[in-house]
Structure 1
Amino acid sequence: MLETFTADTFRPLLEERFELVVDEETRFEVELTEVTESGTPGAERRSQFALVFSGPTDPILPQRIYGLEHPQLGSFYLFLVPIAAGRYEAVFT
């Protein structure tokens, strides 16, 4: 599924909420706040892009792979990196 995602997949979902799954018992609501596309092609000749989500500041979640759920996209996994308090980035190359 990730290989089909592009920046255009996420642009209509700006300011929408996603459910971030830490484990079976721990979930957080996060909001997609930025979609940034690079002009440089990445793997498979698709454009590279990054997503930034606003989420919990306490606890600050460590970088790792998290499950995300959204009504339109379903369930998928992303590697998220904390970039500031309450801000998490996923980069697609």
Structure 2
Amino acid sequence: MTTSPGSSATASRPACRVVPGSSLTLEEATLGAGTGAAGPDGRVRQQFALVFAGPDGLPQGTWQVRHDALGDTALFLVPVGPGRYEAAFA
């Protein structure tokens, strides 16, 4: 998933009620200090995290995220502050 800060996506949770106002805005993308384990192709992966702004109170869990240009993907979102959610990749 490649996009830039300020782009918007919508989120819904499979098998759960859609939370009203569940629009997310990418606030930051940061690279981790270390590298992750080797992927299925044997290459080492770079760790990174995405932080989104959204409505308060979304529970931690896997959410289906839709972006107009990038399409649909599932992200595990963790609340990291009021109206802020992180998806970390290793």
TM-score, normalised relative to structure 2: 0.82
Query: 2:10 is matched by which residue type in structure 1?
Result: E
Which of residues 79, 83, 88 in structure 2 aligns to 1:86? 83
Which of residues 5, 10, 14 in structure 1 aligns to 2:5? 14
Instruction: Give the Cα–Cα distance (whole angstroms) in 2 for the partners of residues 38 and 92 of structure 1.
Output: 9
Deviations 1:44-89 (A, max 9, x none): 21110000000001xx111100000001210010000000000000
**Structure 2 unaligned runs (5+)?**
none
Counterparts in 2 of 1:18-29, with a 5 A limit?
18-23=9-14, 26-27=18-19, 28-29=22-23
How many residue pairs are counted as aligned between the two chains? 82
Other-structure match for 1:76: 73
Structure 2 residue 60 is the aligned partner of structure 1 residue 63: yes
Return the offset for 1:25. Answer: 5.0
More strand by share: 2
**Structure 1 unaligned runs (5+)?**
none
Structure 2 residue 29 is the aligned partner of structure 1 residue 35: yes
TM-score, normalised relative to structure 1: 0.79
Other-structure match for 1:49: 48
Is the radius of gyration larger for structure 1 or structure 2? 2
Identical pairs, percent: 39
- SS at 1:46's partner residue? strand
